[in-house]
Amino acid sequence: MAKLIGKNKIQCAVFISGRGSNLKSIYKYSKKKDSKINLQLVVSNNTNAPGLTFAKKKKIKTKVVKYKNKFKSEIQIINSLKINKIELICLAGFMKILSKKFIIKFKKKIINIHPSLLPKYKGLNTHERAIKNKEKYSGCTVHFVSQKLDSGKIILKRKVRLFKSDTSASLAKRVLKAENILYPLAIKKILTKI
């Protein structure tokens, strides 16, 4: 990431599979005067992802890859990333696991948001598990992507209070709000000298 610090604007791609609320918050950040990124490309494995509609509305380039074959799909994605000179990949609800090869190729250039306070609750159903364990807090984490699922170096976390009355839906809603705040902050952090 050091190579990217101090550069004017970093060409950024966001990978999505669905709703795209984090995509929206990254887009909003990209439009700020002091933003460090240009949101150049949105990649999705799902033709019907609502996030794609948003991207098209904002005239961001989109690349849909149907993922019938992981290897071939990743080649298509890599080509698209090259054409668009992408230097930073933000995974935001992308439901496909990237291959080891892909992750090595873009080492330290892929980040992800996860709806728990990592290293707690890696994987799926984070909110259900946090509630079941009667946690006082849950939250979200932005981290670099490594070959081990949800285990790369942590960039930033944001805590969210967990109430006794919470259901996984109510907690998910509160955590998502925190995610939408956290993602741009994490991008800013890795692209700014501290």
Task: Please report, as ranges, the residues that interact with ligand GRF according to CB under 6 A.
Answer: 16, 18-23, 51, 92-93, 113-115, 176, 179
Task: List phi, psi (to 5°) of 138.
Answer: -130, -155
Rounded Cα distance, 38 and 11, in Å:
5
Beta-strand pair 110-114/137-144:
antiparallel
CB closer to ligand GRF out of 22 and 62: 22
CB closer to ligand GRF out of 22 and 40: 22
- Residue 46 C-beta: closest distance to ligand GRF, Å: 10
| CB-nearest residue to ligand GRF | 93
- Residue 91 C-beta: closest distance to ligand GRF, Å: 7
CB closer to ligand GRF out of 21 and 30: 21
The DSSP H or E segment spanning 16 is strand 10-16
- Residue 180 C-beta: closest distance to ligand GRF, Å: 8
What are the strands of the beta sheet with 10-16, ordered from one edge? 61-64, 37-44, 10-16, 88-91, 110-114, 137-144, 154-161
Q: Which of 24, 63, 109, 114 is catalytic?
A: 114
**Does the annotation mark 127 as catalytic?**
no
Closest CA to 112 of 178, 67, 179: 179
Looking at the annotation, which residues are catalytic? 114
